[in-house]
Amino acid sequence: MSELNNIALKILEKGKGILAADESTGTMTKRLDGVNVKSTPENRLSFRETLFSASSMTKCIGGVILYDETIRQQTSKKKKIPELISDMGSNPGIKVDTGAKVLAGSPEEKITEGLDGLRERLKEYYKLGAKFTKWRGVYNISKNHPSKLSIQSNAHALARYSALVQETNMVPIVEPEVLMDGEHSSEECFTKTSEVIKKCFDELILHKVDLKGIILKPNMILSGSKSKDKISSEQVAKLTLECLKKSVPSEVPGIAFLSGGQSEIEATENLDLINKYNDTNFIMSFSYGRALQQSALKYWSKDIHNSDGAQQIFNHRAKMNALAAQGKWSKDLEN
Ligand code: 13P
């Protein structure tokens, strides 16, 4: 088994998933503003340290995606953040893209940047302790979108990123996120997501990326947030599985979904049903940001010096999602 395949499997072993705590300073400031906490480096660290030292890190969280600021920070006890994560039994990872910018030639769409100088940055992150990385391509659905141009150019960037990451002996998370925003139906989400993922794999193969040493981070198949056609969790699970079966090569060891604006319970319930119906060899787990942090953040904001209550809430969500990643969750466990 290759070293990279080993790392990918370790991150997703036994129902473990990923905590996406890689919000850029801008996004984290929005989240903190939302709960009336001032966005300072100390407060951003304090919330994150609260999560990373929670007991569920050991059994439920196989990897944590960090932002550049956080991977360089030290805990209140002067321990380096990647070291804290490793000591808890998890794996530190790092977001390496520099964000989605307006796509020249199709100004309503985005292209993710960050390839220039990436090889050098990756070497530094590896030295800081990162075992895996993340790059997010983002696509919106409307009548003419995502365009061929956006699908092609984001797939190209994801593949060049992945090849560089594997060269540095880390596992790339390949994240093509088809956004939930809009009025589109679940069928449209299915068609566009399939097209986006297939193109990503065409490019990954062209760039000689070892598919056994990546983790795919896709969206689930949902209807748009403003669509009238609401579908059940059973339908979400079945459509998502059908889409992935048709578009993901069998070598890929694991798939870790983003939550993308679903509520905490929705994200858990959908993942659970995906696993109850999973008839593939792919590990199907989570790489959630908001769906793991929302309630914990709200609680923490009331007394940022008392971490216990926020940790209990986070531990519960992490545990529920780890059960869902094995198809063992049920609604009554939420109480
Ligand atoms: P959400 O789960 O909040 O969508 O965040 C996951 C993520 O990493 C988006 O890039």
At 174-197, the pLDDT tens digits run 999 999 999 999 999 999 999 999
Q: Give me the pLDDT at residue 22, please.
A: 98
Domains of the chain: 3-334 (3.20.20.70)
Tell me how far apart the terminal alpha carbons of the chain are, to the nearest angstrom.
41
Q: Which two tokens stand for residue 59?
A: 């059994």
Q: How many CB atoms lie within 10 A of CB 230?
A: 9
Q: What residue type is assigned to position 106 of the chain?
A: S
Confidence of residue 8 (pLDDT cuts 50, 70, 90): very high
CA 107 to CA 101: how far, in whole Å?
Answer: 9
CA 127 to CA 83: how far, in whole Å?
Answer: 12
| 3-state SS class at 224 | coil
Q: Which two tokens stand for residue 113?
A: 């940047």
Q: Give me the pLDDT at residue 333, please.
A: 98
The rounded mean pLDDT for the chain is 98
At 32-57, the pLDDT tens digits run 999 999 999 999 999 999 999 999 99
Asked if 156 and 203 count as a contact pair (C-beta separation under 8 A), the reply is yes
H-assigned helices in the chain: 3-11, 25-34, 41-52, 56-59, 68-71, 81-87, 118-127, 148-167, 186-206, 233-247, 264-277, 290-302, 307-324
H-assigned helices in 181-334: 186-206, 233-247, 264-277, 290-302, 307-324
What is the number of the ligand 1 atom nearest to the C-alpha of 65? 8
Say whether the peptide bond before residue 107 is cis (omega within 30 degrees of 0). Answer: no
Q: Give me the pLDDT at residue 1, please.
A: 59
Burial class (CB in 10 A: 0-12, 13-18, 19+), 80: middle
Q: Give me the pLDDT at residue 229, please.
A: 87
What is the number of the ligand 1 atom nearest to the C-alpha of 259? 2
Active-site pick, 30, 212, 217, 298: 217
CA 4 to CA 10: how far, in whole Å?
Answer: 10
- 59 Cα to the center of ligand 1, angstroms: 21
Q: Which two tokens stand for residue 17?
A: 């998933």
- 167 Cα to the center of ligand 1, angstroms: 25
- 258 Cα to the center of ligand 1, angstroms: 5
CA 242 to CA 194: how far, in whole Å?
Answer: 10
At 211-237, the pLDDT tens digits run 999 999 999 999 999 999 899 999 999
* 276 flagged as catalytic: no
Confidence of residue 260 (pLDDT cuts 50, 70, 90): very high
What residues flank ligand 1, with Cβ below 6 Å? 20, 136, 175, 258-260, 288-291
